[in-house]
Chains A and B, each alone.
Chain A
Amino acid sequence: MNMQRILLVTAIAAVGITAAACADERSITTEPVGDLGFGINLAKQATNLPRGYIRFPAAVASATPNNDSLVVVLRGLDTLPAGSSYAVWVADDSSTVWFRATAARLTAVRTDTIFTAAGDPLAVPTTFVSNGVNGFSNGGSGEALRFATSRASITGVGTTTIGVALVTIETSATATAPSNRRIIWARRSERSGTGGGANDSSFVRFGTFGRSIAQQFAYSVTTTAGNANLLINPRGRVEVRGPVMVLNDSNYLRPPAGYYYAAYAVKFDTLRGRFQDTVYLGRRTTPFPEQISLYDADFGQATNPAPNIVLEASRTILGMRTRVSADSLPKAQGTPPWKEFGLVAVTLESKSALEGKMGSSIIMQAFLPKSIRGR
């Protein structure tokens, strides 16, 4: 190869390298990357956690039957499947020996909302009464329950001063001791308000019962207005970008024993925007990238699934995440994806209830913008 040819080849190579590498990179705001995102904050919901009040019998057996009544009034419970039931227990202040409340009169009032011919919503209550009840499995967002029995009907309690009343979830209809899912309670010593109108009444706490006040884990407390006051303020955000929906939220209390956090989306109908369907988005996980399931992050678990996220001392969960693609959800495969999905909710679900069926305890909720739901 002579010199001229060498020079020519090298010159061409040099020019080629230079030309190939000389393009300036700039971002252009009118040329975003991929789909546009739409976000909305999750807002804490005020009610629908388990709530209510308990009226204790008189401290000692009374000649007045009315004073010896044990009345438990609750709302916001999940419906339990066959084989599981809510049971009521009482004990003295030491909480060492429990007596099961039996032979009760259960009054369930279900309130359905219907629409009149004029299109106005109308609440229609329906009452069911059962006698001789030892437990119940009713629940639902519109269900109020009144479980009433008497000291004389509680085997073995005799004249024991009843200082604590407890509601548990049992898998045996004939359980003689409360299970570890001790979710609702009231102590005479820390009674609050005058729920039910009697001096020996107390609004309930929802959480995980402990033998002493120091040991108990209160998730929410029923207020005098009858609402369940969640004792923390979570915050978070939903963002939908193309087919992908992501929930990022933080600052939650650990679920009470036997509960877990889940995410649901609610689909509206096309014409009127009313609820059409709930779509299960799955159990919550820790944030990216670990994304460890928080199903077993409930209080009292022997093994903490994510000690860096689920804090033992403060009984809190630092952050949670859900990522789901419409590609994996046939009901979300509209054009655009997630069309007609109006609500996204973070719920507290009972492990005893059916998974995938949205419970009544909505902790956080976001109303998706019209750009997503399409109407």
Chain B
Amino acid sequence: MRRFFSACALVALASSAAQAQWQAKAFSVTTRIGGQSSERSSSLDRSALIGVDTEYSLNKWFGIGTSVDVARGNTVREDFVTRLRYGLASTGGGDSLYYQYLGQAIDRVHLSAFGTARIPGKRVTPFIMGGVGTYFLALDPQLNGRNTKINELMYTGGAGISFKLSDKAGIQFDARLTQYQNYDRALLNPARNRAEQNTPFPEDFPPPPAAKNTALNTMFTLGFRYVPGSTGQN
């Protein structure tokens, strides 16, 4: 990460010398695609995502905008072990147990408002951004036996580089961190509040790291920037 920011700084120095030109009071739309990785304690697996940023440039240095990210990923199945029991342990012959990992797909939506600060260049523009919004997690109600949705506060921040391709188009690479607030990992377990979640074989089914009430996600995305009505700068 330090190397990444060092590279951004070098690009910034070069671009500022190139007489950056960003048009004030103009909109831009960036469609993004990439992947995200969540901290281990969240029990969220890596996933792909698509997103749309809409940005309004206050001036050539600063902008504000909104962002929407949508992802469909999976939970970390090994973190949700349960047992399917047949028979009774108290009777002759005992019981038989199937051990199962209860992984499942999960829909993740991020909505946020953000502000950007950039050092505009002739072709390369590094930027940083930060914002606040909400995250929305939705799980399969049929698999969970009930509606399971989470909608809580989220903070986001990151940095990236924009490359000008034409007067109206460009691409950008960015890395963002989002932090879910009031996160409850237990809600990802379809067998929550039921028996048979403890296993007598913890050495064979290692428990996940201790749950936290926040979840940090790291996103890397590639974006296609479009500047409607542009007069030559993006």
**Given A288-B202, A289-B202, does the pair A33, B105 have CB atoms closer than 8 Å?**
no
On chain B, the number of residues with a Cβ less than 8 Å from chain A's Cβ atoms is: 44
Question: Which of B74, B89, B200, B224 has the most chain A CB within a 10 Å cutoff?
Answer: B200
A211 interface hit (Cβ, 8 Å): no
A20 interface hit (Cβ, 8 Å): yes
Q: Is A10 touching B92 in the complex (CB atoms < 8 A)?
A: no
Provide the main secondary structure of the chain A interface.
mixed
Tell me the residues in window 328-375 of chain A with beta carbons closer than 8 Å to chain B beta carbons.
366-371
Q: Is B143 touching A26 in the complex (CB atoms < 8 A)?
A: yes
Q: Is B74 touching A41 in the complex (CB atoms < 8 A)?
A: no
Q: Is A237 touching B89 in the complex (CB atoms < 8 A)?
A: yes
Given the complex of chains A and B, what is the CA–CA distance between A323 and B83 in angstroms? 19
Provide the main secondary structure of the chain B interface.
strand
Q: Is A18 touching B77 in the complex (CB atoms < 8 A)?
A: no
Q: Is A246 touching B201 in the complex (CB atoms < 8 A)?
A: yes
Q: Is B45 touching A371 in the complex (CB atoms < 8 A)?
A: no
A93 to chain B, nearest CB (A): 46
**Given A21-B73, A29-B98, does the pair A40, B89 have CB atoms closer than 8 Å?**
yes
Q: Is B100 touching A370 in the complex (CB atoms < 8 A)?
A: no
* Candidates B34, B90, B205; contact of A17 at CB < 8 Å: B34
A14 interface hit (Cβ, 8 Å): yes
* Candidates A24, A32, A369; contact of B99 at CB < 8 Å: A32
B102 to chain A, nearest CB (A): 5
Q: Which residues of B contact A25 (CB under 8 A)?
A: 45, 74-75, 77, 103-105
* Candidates A3, A39, A41, A366; contact of B97 at CB < 8 Å: A39
Q: Is A21 touching B46 in the complex (CB atoms < 8 A)?
A: yes
B96 interface hit (Cβ, 8 Å): yes
Q: Is B48 touching A21 in the complex (CB atoms < 8 A)?
A: yes
Given the complex of chains A and B, what is the CA–CA distance between A289 and B201 in angstroms? 11
A302 interface hit (Cβ, 8 Å): no
Q: Which residues of B contact A34 (CB under 8 A)?
A: 99, 204
Q: Is A36 touching B97 in the complex (CB atoms < 8 A)?
A: yes
Q: Is A26 touching B166 in the complex (CB atoms < 8 A)?
A: no
Q: Which residues of B contact A8 (CB under 8 A)?
A: none
A280 interface hit (Cβ, 8 Å): no
Given the complex of chains A and B, what is the CA–CA distance between A328 and B218 in angstroms? 44
Q: Which residues of B contact A10 (CB under 8 A)?
A: 171, 222, 224
Given the complex of chains A and B, what is the CA–CA distance between A367 and B99 in angstroms? 22
A187 to chain B, nearest CB (A): 38
A-B pairs, 7 with minimum CB distance: A40-B94, A21-B48, A25-B74, A25-B103, A37-B97, A32-B98, A24-B105
**With A24-B72, A27-B102 already in contact, 18 other A-B pairs whose C-beta atoms are closer than 8 Å:** A6-B171, A17-B33, A18-B33, A25-B104, A26-B105, A29-B100, A32-B84, A32-B98, A33-B81, A33-B205, A34-B204, A38-B96, A237-B89, A239-B200, A241-B204, A246-B200, A246-B201, A371-B96
Seen from chain B, the residues whose Cβ lies within 8 Å of a Cβ on chain A are 33-35, 45-48, 50, 72-75, 77, 81, 83-84, 89-90, 92-105, 143, 165-166, 171, 200-205, 222, 224
